[in-house]
Amino acid sequence: MKSAVVLFAVIGISLGAFVEVPLTKIMTLRERLIRQGKWQEYSEQQKAARSTGSQTVKDYNDVAYVGTVTLGTPAQSFDVILDTGSANLWVVDSTCNTDACNGNAARTKKKYNAGSSSTYSNDGRDWSIQYGTGSASGKLAVDKLCMAGLCFNTQIFGRASNIAAFFKTQPVDGILGLGWPALAVDHVQPPFQNLMASLDAPLFTVWLDVKGPVNGAIGGLFTYGALDTKNCQMNTVKYATLTSQTYWQFAITGVSVGSYSSNSVQSVISDTGTSFIGGPGGQIKSIGDALSATYNSQYGLYLVPCNSKNLPALSFTIDTSGSTSFPIPASEYVVDVRYWRIYCRSINYWVVLNLGELGGLADHPN
């Protein structure tokens, strides 16, 4: 699959640059744990944690793409989730020596070392952020941030001295949020807003390319300050008004697949921090039923046989100063998971907790 999203921040002044950050495709946590036969145990642990009253903001069970940024002078490199569904930047700090911060034998975590950076300064504030998969916390710091050569000298970010066990097996060193300032914890200015004045235009383009079961391959591109004319068809670009300047949130006016159709107006978000379509449980069930899919509670997924033929397109009608239908063919929303040692999977049954009817419209690996 090749999918693209153009996201505009309609503030700032263009001055003269654009940069490209390649994305690396990684195996999602859900994939890894299903292959290891540990997903059900993990899922039950997550449900138990949620029942304690901690706020579920979002989770990263299905993250599939990461990019590289640097912090400090000289530059220290980090692989981070480029996440339009959050707004803070944080990386693992050198003061953290827990198992989660150290990573595992397959990949040890890269850690930020304040003492090695001549441009570091201490913000002094404590910092903490909660996700559905756990939390990260530590101290806020200020240092030079660079993405593909474009830099901002005084970016505030989190030095994570404590991170959830979930992150141990994820091949990432932190998260770079690309949401709006209103979404940011501690009212920290997000990186993109700081870099925007240096860009040709106040926008970024996300192009995601499917790589199947390949892990660690180049799987897409973030282009900051310009449209991605190499990978995106410019004659198909449409514009949707944001319904909230928190997430990249807009309205859809319809969803349909096979015999199922809904014309209700719903708010959705374009979320690069997950690789699946999410939505209200009842609606996802109706879509699964229309595809004659079977819900598997062990994996939390709707499944279709691998020999399924002629499945209908799944269409979303987006409010683009009019109504534009965006059909997604079955080849794009059915994921072949035979290499997980189970069988083909169709739509992920992911109910976004505490967000009502706010779902995610993101990449859908083939």
Mean pLDDT over residues 245-257, rounded? 93
What pLDDT sits at residue 59?
A: 40
Which has more confidence, 279 or 111? 111
What pLDDT sits at residue 33?
A: 64
Q: How confident is the model at residue 177 (pLDDT cuts 50, 70, 90)?
A: very high
Say which amino acid occupies 332.
Answer: E
- 310 has a pLDDT exceeding 80: yes
Would you call 36 helix, strand, or coil by DSSP? Answer: helix
Of the candidates 130, 147, 252, which has an alpha carbon nearest to the alpha carbon of residue 195?
A: 147
**For 58, phi and psi rounded to 5 degrees?**
-165, 165
Query: Tokens representing 236?
Result: 């198909």
State the residue for tokens 């940069």.
19
| Identified catalytic residue from 173, 209, 228, 271 | 271
Which has more confidence, 342 or 357? 342
Q: What is the share, in percent, of the chain residues with pLDDT greater than 90?
A: 37
Integer Cα distance of 337 and 213 in angstroms? 8
What pLDDT sits at residue 121?
A: 98
Check: CB of residue 49 under 8 Å from CB of residue 59.
Answer: no
Which has more confidence, 141 or 233? 141
Of these ranges, 32-46, 174-188, 351-365, the one predicted with the greatest mean pLDDT is 174-188
What pLDDT sits at residue 62?
A: 47
Which has more confidence, 239 or 159? 159
Pick the CATH number of 2-43+54-209 from 1.20.1250.20, 2.40.70.10, 3.10.25.10, 2.60.40.420: 2.40.70.10
Q: What is the share, in percent, of the chain residues with pLDDT greater than 70?
A: 70
Mean pLDDT over residues 323-345, rounded? 68
pLDDT tens for each residue of 102-145 = 987 778 999 999 999 999 999 999 999 987 667 899 999 999 99
Integer Cα distance of 65 and 26 in angstroms? 6
**For 306, phi and psi rounded to 5 degrees?**
-65, -20
State the residue for tokens 């993250």.
63
Among this protein's residues, is 271 annotated catalytic? Answer: yes
- 343 has a pLDDT exceeding 60: no
Q: How confident is the model at residue 56 (pLDDT cuts 50, 70, 90)?
A: very low
Which has more confidence, 126 or 200? 126
Integer Cα distance of 232 and 345 in angstroms? 27
- Tell me which architecture the domain covering 238-360 has in CATH: Beta Barrel (2.40)
Mean pLDDT over residues 72-80, rounded? 96
Say which amino acid occupies 9.
Answer: A
Average pLDDT, rounded, for the chain = 78
Of the candidates 228, 265, 349, which has an alpha carbon nearest to the alpha carbon of residue 299?
A: 349
- 15 has a pLDDT exceeding 50: no
Residue boundaries of the structural domains of the chain: 2-43+54-209, 238-360
Integer Cα distance of 352 and 78 in angstroms? 28
Say which amino acid occupies 222.
Answer: F
Of the candidates 119, 129, 123, 196, which has an alpha carbon nearest to the alpha carbon of residue 162?
A: 129
Which has more confidence, 331 or 86? 86
Check: CB of residue 345 under 8 Å from CB of residue 339.
Answer: no
Query: Tokens representing 128?
Result: 């903490």
Q: Work out the angle at residue 82's Cα, subtended by the Cα atoms of residues 240 and 275, and round it to the nearest 5 degrees.
A: 70
Which has more confidence, 355 or 27? 27
Of the candidates 163, 213, 273, which has an alpha carbon nearest to the alpha carbon of residue 31?
A: 213
Mean pLDDT over residues 272-286, rounded? 81
Q: What is the pTM of this model?
A: 0.77
Among this protein's residues, is 83 annotated catalytic? Answer: yes
Check: CB of residue 243 under 8 Å from CB of residue 267.
Answer: yes
Integer Cα distance of 257 and 325 in angstroms? 12
Mean pLDDT over residues 336-357, rounded? 38
Least confident range from 37-41, 100-104, 119-123, 230-234: namely 37-41
Check: CB of residue 344 under 8 Å from CB of residue 337.
Answer: yes
| Identified catalytic residue from 83, 143, 209, 363 | 83
The alpha carbon dihedral of 301, 307, 311, 313 has a sign of positive
Query: Tokens representing 81?
Result: 């989730």
Q: How confident is the model at residue 210 (pLDDT cuts 50, 70, 90)?
A: low
| CB crowding 171-210: b at 16 or more within 10 Å, else e | bbbbbbbbbbeebbbeebebbbbbbbebbebbbbbbbbbb
pLDDT tens for each residue of 238-250 = 899 999 989 999 9
- 219 has a pLDDT exceeding 80: no
Which has more confidence, 261 or 20? 261
